[in-house]
């Protein structure tokens, strides 16, 4: 069976699933990328595997992907000769051309996306987004949501009977698990160390780090045996530093951008993971924190929280932008080492289910179901 994925750009949380799919003898995959990088990404140059390529001759990354177009898209789709096509995006001209080619040629295809409506738009913006999504809602053979929250949102949009499945971003977690094991062995020697709260991601407005800082400062005023570690960089860093008093500066560590290989040890030496985002379609750092055996505390706008957090078992969710609620959840964990230990074990056990191999199996099952011989008519893309 041949699968062709049309994706925005190479990213670790998709590449690991593709690698797992490529190792199965019954699957042949082709991955088409619209660009190597887009705005606000820091993964750097990546060497593409033999089954992946940039689309056409003009695949340089434009400053605004929404209006980008890769002129080789139709040729590359034709040459793929796939049994099932999977399209990740919908907002670029390349995506829209791909939709219409798939519909016109009666191909079987699936849309794979994060939950819709993450960004609030005006009336014109909402109308444009609705028009861009019409081919998906009217003509796709299935929708695959990235996480349970995305699945629920897409089901509410549908006006016809259509399979909506859940295949989230899944990445290799072996190094994070190994680092967590090393930390467990040396745990007795660090029992009196400060409780370290970890954030990993860009330092940008969308991540709502001011909420985290307010919660941290309220806790630090009561107990100075805590530490906040921020892994990442971004334009909000100077403003965040300006929020700290001289005493608080010693308790907050800005590590700057760190390569993926450095993350397991940074995660393993933390005690609690926090992601306070205003909105995150998924949040693959939550997968990594799970494998690191950390209690997870995420805002209710982080998609991964709905799949990876069992409330009170391995972490908590809190209402976005509610710093008092965040501080309350953190205090529960800070004041109870035994609770942290139980949640740590629960996270590590849960991480064993969230592997790229599982993602590959889900794609294989969906592809097998969708490519069963049936008569397919050509729906309208209007």
378 assigned to some structural domain: no
Is residue 184 within 8 Å of residue 177, measured between CB atoms?
no
User: Do 249 and 162 belong together in one domain?
Assistant: no
379 assigned to some structural domain: no
Q: Which domain holds residue 77?
A: 2-171+356-370
User: Do 343 and 363 belong together in one domain?
Assistant: no
Which residues are CB-contacts of 128 (< 8 A; sequence separation ≥ 6)?
121
User: Do 53 and 143 belong together in one domain?
Assistant: yes
**C-alpha dist (Å) from residue 306 to 149, 164, 172:** 7, 17, 20
Strand 2-7's sheet: what is its strand order?
A: 52-54, 28-33, 2-7, 84-87, 109-113, 142-145, 164-166
262 assigned to some structural domain: yes
375 assigned to some structural domain: no
User: Do 21 and 99 belong together in one domain?
Assistant: yes
Q: What is the pLDDT of residue 45?
A: 64
376 assigned to some structural domain: no
Distance CA 262, CA 77 (A): 37
Kindly give the pairing relationship between strand 296-299 and strand 109-113: unpaired
Number of domains the chain is built from: 2
User: Do 238 and 97 belong together in one domain?
Assistant: no
Which residues are CB-contacts of 242 (< 8 A; sequence separation ≥ 6)?
none
DSSP class of residue 274 equals E
User: Do 220 and 325 belong together in one domain?
Assistant: yes
Is residue 167 within 8 Å of residue 112, measured between CB atoms?
yes
> If the chain, 382 residues long, is cut into consecutive pieces of 10 residues, what is the mean pLDDT of each piece?
94 90 91 82 74 74 58 95 96 94 98 82 80 94 96 92 95 95 65 89 96 98 95 96 95 94 96 96 96 97 97 97 98 95 96 95 95 56 39
Paired residues of 52 in beta bridges: 31
CATH code at 250?
3.40.50.2000
Q: Minimal CA–CA distance to 209: which of 177, 184, 186, 239?
A: 239
Burial class, 193, CB count within 10 angstroms (exposed 0-12 / middle 13-18 / buried 19+):
exposed
Is residue 206 within 8 Å of residue 279, measured between CB atoms?
yes
**In the numeric block, which tokens belong to residue 189?**
């020697």
Q: What is the pLDDT of residue 130?
A: 85
User: Do 35 and 158 belong together in one domain?
Assistant: yes
Is residue 296 within 8 Å of residue 305, measured between CB atoms?
yes
26 assigned to some structural domain: yes
Paired residues of 2 in beta bridges: 28
Strand 296-299's sheet: what is its strand order?
A: 252-256, 226-231, 195-200, 272-275, 296-299, 315-318
Paired residues of 311 in beta bridges: 315
DSSP class of residue 222 equals T
335-365 residues labelled b (16+ CB within 10 A) or e (exposed):
eeeeebeebbebbbebbeebbbbbbbebbbe
The count of residues in the chain is 382
User: Do 159 and 291 belong together in one domain?
Assistant: no
380 assigned to some structural domain: no
**C-alpha dist (Å) from residue 339 to 272, 336, 342, 352:** 11, 5, 5, 21
Distance, CA of 305 to chain centre: 11
pTM > 0.85: yes
User: Do 46 and 24 belong together in one domain?
Assistant: yes
Q: What is the pLDDT of residue 260?
A: 87
Sign of the Cα torsion 43, 49, 55, 57 reads positive
User: Do 150 and 202 belong together in one domain?
Assistant: no
User: Do 283 and 338 belong together in one domain?
Assistant: yes
Q: What is the pLDDT of residue 1?
A: 93
131 assigned to some structural domain: yes
Question: Among all chains, which residue has been given the structure tokens 């690698």?
Answer: 19
User: Do 226 and 121 belong together in one domain?
Assistant: no
**C-alpha dist (Å) from residue 108 to 24, 56, 265, 284, 380:** 21, 22, 43, 29, 14
């Amino acid at each position: 069976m041949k699968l062709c994925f049309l994706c925005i750009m190479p990213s670790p949380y998709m590449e690991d699933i593709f690698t797992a799919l490529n190792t199965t003898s019954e699957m042949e995959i082709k991955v088409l990328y619209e660009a190597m990088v887009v705005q606000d990404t820091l993964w750097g140059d990546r060497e593409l595997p033999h089954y992946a390529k940039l689309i056409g001759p003009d695949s340089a990354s434009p400053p605004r992907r929404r209006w980008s177009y890769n002129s080789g898209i139709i040729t590359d789709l034709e040459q793929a000769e796939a049994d099932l096509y999977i399209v990740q995006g919908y907002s670029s001209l390349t995506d829209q051309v791909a939709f219409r080619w798939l519909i016109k040629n009666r191909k079987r295809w699936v849309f794979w996306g994060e939950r819709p409506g993450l960004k609030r738009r005006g009336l014109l913006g909402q109308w444009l987004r609705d028009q861009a999504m019409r081919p998906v809602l009217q003509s796709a053979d299935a929708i695959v949501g990235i996480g349970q929250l995305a699945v629920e949102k897409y089901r509410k949009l549908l006006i016809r009977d259509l399979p909506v499945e859940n295949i989230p971003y899944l990445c290799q977690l072996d190094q994070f698990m190994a680092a967590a094991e090393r930390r467990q062995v040396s745990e007795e020697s660090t029992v009196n160390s400060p409780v370290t709260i970890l954030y990993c991601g860009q330092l940008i407005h969308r991540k709502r780090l001011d909420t985290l800082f307010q919660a941290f400062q309220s806790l630090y005023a009561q107990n100075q045996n805590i530490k906040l570690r921020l892994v990442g960089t971004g334009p909000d860093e100077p403003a965040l530093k300006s929020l700290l008093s001289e005493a608080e500066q010693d308790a907050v560590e800005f590590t700057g951008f760190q390569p993926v290989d450095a993350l397991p040890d940074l995660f393993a030496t933390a005690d609690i993971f926090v992601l306070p985002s205003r909105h995150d379609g998924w949040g693959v750092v939550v997968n990594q924190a799970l494998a690191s055996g950390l209690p997870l505390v995420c805002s209710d706008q982080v998609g991964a929280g709905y799949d990876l957090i069992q409330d009170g078992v391995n972490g908590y969710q809190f209402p976005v932008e509610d710093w008092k609620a965040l501080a309350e959840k953190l205090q529960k964990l800070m004041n109870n080492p035994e609770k942290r230990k139980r949640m740590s074990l629960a996270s590590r056990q849960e991480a064993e289910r969230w592997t790229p191999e599982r993602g590959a199996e889900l794609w294989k099952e969906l592809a097998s179901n969708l490519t069963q011989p049936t008569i397919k008519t050509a729906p309208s893309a209007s």
